[in-house]
Amino acid sequence: MANSLKRILIGKPLASADEQHQRLSKKIALPVFSSDAISSTAYATEEILHVFLIAGVGAAAYTKLVPISIMVVVLLAVVVVSYRQTIFAYPSGGGSYVVSRENLGEIPSLVAGSSLLTDYILTVAVSVAGGVAAIVAAFPSLAPNRVELCVGFIVLMTLANLRGLKESGALFAPPTYIYVLSLVTLIVVGLYRVYVQHLGPIAHTGKPAEELAGLKSIGLFLFLKAFASGAVALSGVEAVSNGVPAFKKPESKNASTTLIWMAVILGSCFFGLSLVAKHLQPVPGYGGTVLAQLAEQIYGGRNALFFITQFATFAVLILAANTSYADYPRLSSIIAKDGYLPRQFSNRGDRLVFSNGIIFLAVAAIALIVGFKGKIDALIPLYAVGVFTGFTLSQTGMCVHHVKIKEPGWKRNLVINAVGALTTGLVAAIVITTKFLSGAWISVLVIVLLSAAFKSISRHYVRVRESVSVNPGYKVQRHQHLVVVLVGSMNKGVLHALQYAKSLAPDRLIAVSVVSDPEEERHFREQWDLFDIPIDLQTISSPYRDLTGSILRYIDELDRESADEMITVVIPEFVTKFTSQWLHNQSALAIKAKLLYRPNTVVTSVPIIVD
């Protein structure tokens, strides 16, 4: 039953040999890996305005929109140029984690890893929240169900991804292109109407109009805070360099080209939107998103073009969340392979995807959405911390890489990455200082805790590995073998278990039963004669009816008799249907649980299948 449900939802299992085919061409890889970055144009402008207007600066906010956009675009250029180097230096996938691990050592790599993992979770939460915001802007009646919609979309996306990478790429590719097209149309038509037809600002009434009436001046701190919000547009740029191995051959070249395409699209769209917003003066926070308000003003009302823009925005943001679904499991599998996360994260599921990582990501994102009630502006301050910590560590790692390898032209490359590291480091510092109280502290805390967790998981794995490693010439000691068969009452199961125990050919074989009165012992004696069982049965009385304790004490007693015995405890168990299984073997379960931690003890169940 559970299996068929899984088959319907997830699809038929793929063989390991099919892995090669799960690679992406550039046209598919662009939407899969860069939709995250490109989609942030849907909310980045809005978040800049949000910071200003909340502070009460009024219409002065619009004067700083274009300068901030230019700063973000410059930052984008610096980061992309730096990341091209990473792609060529690490064709097997060089996220911040891998680069810092190779060059900076353990602790920085763990910080990078945990930054990225938190970041991916936030990408899902922020993007889905943004996508739902676009839908709500188009259909305001859906506003009360914001959180439910978000959770629903995350679940759908999780299922799509459990089916496999390539299929989800093909399924989600068109929306990015439609979004880019609709965004470019919006910007071109917008600029035409502003500069040629002299379209004026949006006419606001009520609350939004009051917000524009504010008259505070913009200080440096506020300016930087707004810049930090705008910088979230860069989140997701690292996705391409993480996913190099998923590209078709030649991986590095294709990935690098894709990265450049993405940067050009992202930079020009973000700048264009900010320019249009400067003239049309949308006010975020009152139902409609900034993008929706711009579309309504530019297209002259809620017409088909408006709805296309909204749907495309929604679709691309969902696809952006999907980027994390491609990257999070991949990264967690790399980290798990290095022994910093439970091994299960590196297991591929039926469809050759890292199922456990996908499921964990979905659960964490849903928790965030529910916790922050699906509001983007509450999530944004958490977001940029991880992004820029990751960038900084990755670029610093690349600097060390150049100094170590000294490849041809390394000095030029070193300068590029050093500039990258300094710039992103500065932005990380700005993000943390300006946003600390409004939520960045949560991310900082999670990153620190996660790094500590990685470290302790790794310590555990290392300790286990050391204690089970063998030196050449290691000889296993020969033990005496004592087999104890637990007998509850006389039945077919017990006879089978006794027969099985005999076949183990132990040095000593004992059957044990706990009896509550002399009558029971007499009954066993008769049965033993009746079936002619050639094994000693020890009947133990238990004045306090303590079954588990009596048996364990007896096993301890037997153990004391000789020093180096292996004890096998054989338990007959009834196996029935799933629905009635809980009626059986409860005491066997308790005994098994207690014996699990006993040294030199093996517990064996002899199943008796009852239909």
Task: Say whether 606 sits in a helix, a strand or coil.
Answer: strand
Q: Which of 474, 544, 578, 597 is in the footprint of another protein by CB under 8 A? A: 544
Task: Say whether 481 sits in a helix, a strand or coil.
Answer: strand
Nearer to another protein, 457 or 537 (CB): 537
For residue 540, the surrounding DSSP H or E stretch is strand 536-541
Mark 546-585 with x for binding to another protein (rule: CB under 8 A) and - for no binding.
x--x---xx-----xxx-----------------------
Nearer to another protein, 380 or 487 (CB): 487
Q: How far is the CB of 553 from another protein (least distance, A)?
A: 7
Q: Which of 59, 418, 453, 540 is in the footprint of another protein by CB under 8 A? A: 540
Scan residues 478-537 and list those touching another protein (CB under 8 A). Answer: 515, 517-518, 520-522, 524-525, 528-529, 532-537
Nearer to another protein, 128 or 555 (CB): 555
For residue 31, the surrounding DSSP H or E stretch is helix 26-39
Nearer to another protein, 456 or 562 (CB): 562
Nearer to another protein, 102 or 559 (CB): 559
> How big is the site for another protein, counted in residues (CB under 8 A)?
29
For residue 604, the surrounding DSSP H or E stretch is strand 601-609
User: How far, CA to CA in Å, does 10 sit from each of 23, 318, 357, 466, 594?
Assistant: 19, 19, 15, 39, 38
Interface with another protein includes 210 (CB under 8 A)? no
482 — phi, psi (to 5°)? Answer: -115, 130
Residue 582: both structure tokens together: 């809980």
CA atoms within 13 A on the CB side of 86: 38
Q: Which of 408, 409, 543, 599 is in the footprint of another protein by CB under 8 A? A: 543
Q: What angle do CA 423, 125, 80 make, to 5 degrees?
A: 25
- In 10 A of CB 258, how many CB atoms? 27
Q: How far is the CB of 168 from another protein (least distance, A)?
A: 58
Nearer to another protein, 19 or 556 (CB): 556
DSSP β-bridge partners for residue 573: 607
Nearer to another protein, 303 or 538 (CB): 538
Q: How far is the CB of 444 from another protein (least distance, A)?
A: 46
Q: How far is the CB of 555 from another protein (least distance, A)?
A: 13
Q: How far is the CB of 491 from another protein (least distance, A)?
A: 16
Give dist(CA 359, CA 329) in Å, integer. 9
Question: With contact defined as beta carbons under 8 Å apart, do 461 and 339 qualify?
Answer: yes
DSSP H helical segments within 40-95, as ranges? 41-54, 61-89
- Among the candidate windows 205-213, 230-238, 539-547, 576-584, which touches another protein by CB under 8 A? 539-547
Q: How far is the CB of 508 from another protein (least distance, A)?
A: 11
Nearer to another protein, 489 or 580 (CB): 489
Q: How far is the CB of 516 from another protein (least distance, A)?
A: 8
Nearer to another protein, 519 or 611 (CB): 519
User: How far, CA to CA in Å, does 72 sit from each of 68, 288, 589?
Assistant: 6, 24, 61
Q: Taking Cα atoms as reference points, which of 517, 504, 602, 496 lies closest to residue 555?
A: 602
DSSP H helical segments within 164-289, as ranges? 165-195, 207-212, 220-230, 239-242, 251-280
Rg of the chain taking only CA atoms, in angstroms: 32
- Among the candidate windows 392-400, 541-549, 567-575, 596-604, which touches another protein by CB under 8 A? 541-549
Residue 610: both structure tokens together: 């009852």
Nearer to another protein, 178 or 490 (CB): 490
Q: How far is the CB of 498 from another protein (least distance, A)?
A: 11
Q: How far is the CB of 121 from another protein (least distance, A)?
A: 46
Q: Which of 489, 538, 580, 581 is in the footprint of another protein by CB under 8 A? A: 538
Question: With contact defined as beta carbons under 8 Å apart, do 97 and 283 qualify?
Answer: no
Q: How far is the CB of 367 from another protein (least distance, A)?
A: 41
Residue 223: both structure tokens together: 């300016």
Give dist(CA 345, CA 329) in Å, integer. 7
Q: How far is the CB of 589 from another protein (least distance, A)?
A: 20
Nearer to another protein, 167 or 520 (CB): 520
Scan residues 164-183 and list those touching another protein (CB under 8 A). Answer: none
Nearer to another protein, 472 or 543 (CB): 543
- Return all residues near 79 (Cβ < 8 A) that are at least 6 apart: 234, 237, 391, 420, 423, 424
Give dist(CA 128, CA 214) in Å, integer. 32
Q: How far is the CB of 485 from another protein (least distance, A)?
A: 13
Q: Which of 344, 491, 539, 576 is in the footprint of another protein by CB under 8 A? A: 539
Give dist(CA 593, CA 387) in Å, integer. 45
Nearer to another protein, 532 or 611 (CB): 532
Q: What angle do CA 18, 22, 28 make, to 5 degrees?
A: 160
Q: How far is the CB of 544 from another protein (least distance, A)?
A: 4
Q: How far is the CB of 593 from another protein (least distance, A)?
A: 18
Q: How far is the CB of 596 from another protein (least distance, A)?
A: 21
User: How far, CA to CA in Å, does 530 sit from each of 190, 491, 492, 524?
Assistant: 97, 12, 14, 10
Phi-psi region of 283 (alpha: psi -120 to 50; beta: other; left: phi over 0): beta
Q: Name the DSSP letter for residue 284.
A: T
Task: Say whether 577 sits in a helix, a strand or coil.
Answer: coil
Q: Which of 303, 347, 541, 600 is in the footprint of another protein by CB under 8 A? A: 541
Nearer to another protein, 433 or 527 (CB): 527
- Among the candidate windows 142-150, 216-224, 426-434, 545-553, which touches another protein by CB under 8 A? 545-553
Give dist(CA 398, CA 388) in Å, integer. 15
- Among the candidate windows 245-253, 323-331, 459-467, 542-550, which touches another protein by CB under 8 A? 542-550
Nearer to another protein, 210 or 557 (CB): 557
> Which stretches of the chain bind another protein, using CB under 8 A?
515, 517-518, 520-522, 524-525, 528-529, 532-541, 543-544, 546, 549, 553-554, 560-562
